[in-house]
């Protein structure tokens, strides 16, 4: 079976491809000659994930999936949430992290979570799969592993940020891994 992953992000594609069973041929957008950007204009992760899948479906692709994710801080009513990539107005992790630490400077309750939503269009229907990683926002950025908010996010059960923890641990804990595993299990049971 052929399955298109609606992402232009090569790192994500490589990471996800490693987790798929061999009998599923995972295709990137460039492999199906889809080179347009798909703006994420919805106000929820689920809405953005579906929007990307629907843009690909319009090209006649039968089975495809996409994902969207973000960091939700409880004391900030879920900010930056769906706007995580451009929280500071720029797609730049350092400035996003600085702004979040600034907005949290007088806040004691620092709980937060990463959430990932996968939307799968499969045999004519949409399906959604969610994964979550609970933790808290650190008081300062530490470590350079991972990406995005990882240097300021301490997962529950750990005292180090994801920026300091290894890639193996991050992959095991990750919200994306959890959502993806649910989707892979669903495909295995239904194909």
List the catalytic residues: 68
Report in angstroms how near the CB of residue 145 gets to ligand IMP at its nearest: 10
Report the residue number, 71 or 180, with the smaller CB distance to ligand IMP.
Answer: 71
Q: Which residues of 95-134 are buried (b: 16+ CB within 10 A; e: fewer)?
A: ebbebbeebbeeeeebebbbbbbbbbbbeeeebebbbebe
Report the residue number, 63 or 174, with the smaller CB distance to ligand IMP.
Answer: 174
Span from 16-24, 51-59, 65-73, 134-142 in contact with ligand IMP (CB under 6 A): 65-73
Report in angstroms how near the CB of residue 25 gets to ligand IMP at its nearest: 23
Q: How many residues does the chain have?
A: 191
According to the binding rule CB under 6 A, does residue 70 interact with ligand IMP? Answer: yes
According to the binding rule CB under 6 A, does residue 164 interact with ligand IMP? Answer: no
Window 127 to 146, contacts with ligand IMP (CB under 6 A): 146
From the list 51, 119, 149, 154, which residue makes contact with ligand IMP (rule: CB under 6 A)? Answer: 149
According to the binding rule CB under 6 A, does residue 71 interact with ligand IMP? Answer: yes
According to the binding rule CB under 6 A, does residue 6 interact with ligand IMP? Answer: no
- State the residues that interact with ligand IMP by CB under 6 A: 67-71, 84-85, 114, 146-150, 174
């Amino acid at each position: 079976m052929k399955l298109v992953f609606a992402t232009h992000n090569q790192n994500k594609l490589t990471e996800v491809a490693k987790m798929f069973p061999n009998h599923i041929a995972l295709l990137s957008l460039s492999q199906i000659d889809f080179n347009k950007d798909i703006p994420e204009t919805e106000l929820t992760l689920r809405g953005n994930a579906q929007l990307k899948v629907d843009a690909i479906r319009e090209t006649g692709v039968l089975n495809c999936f996409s994902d969207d994710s973000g960091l939700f801080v409880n004391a900030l009513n879920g900010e930056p949430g769906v706007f995580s990539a451009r929280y500071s107005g720029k797609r730049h992790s350092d400035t996003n992290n600085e702004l979040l630490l600034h907005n949290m400077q007088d806040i004691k309750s620092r709980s937060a979570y990463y959430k990932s939503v996968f939307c799968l269009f499969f045999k004519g229907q949409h399906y959604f799969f969610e994964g979550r990683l609970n933790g808290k926002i650190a008081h300062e950025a530490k470590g350079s592993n991972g990406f995005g908010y990882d240097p300021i996010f301490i997962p529950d059960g750990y005292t180090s940020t994801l920026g300091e923890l290894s890639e193996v641990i991050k992959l095991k804990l990750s919200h994306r891994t959890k959502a993806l595993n649910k989707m892979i299990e669903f495909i295995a049971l239904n194909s």
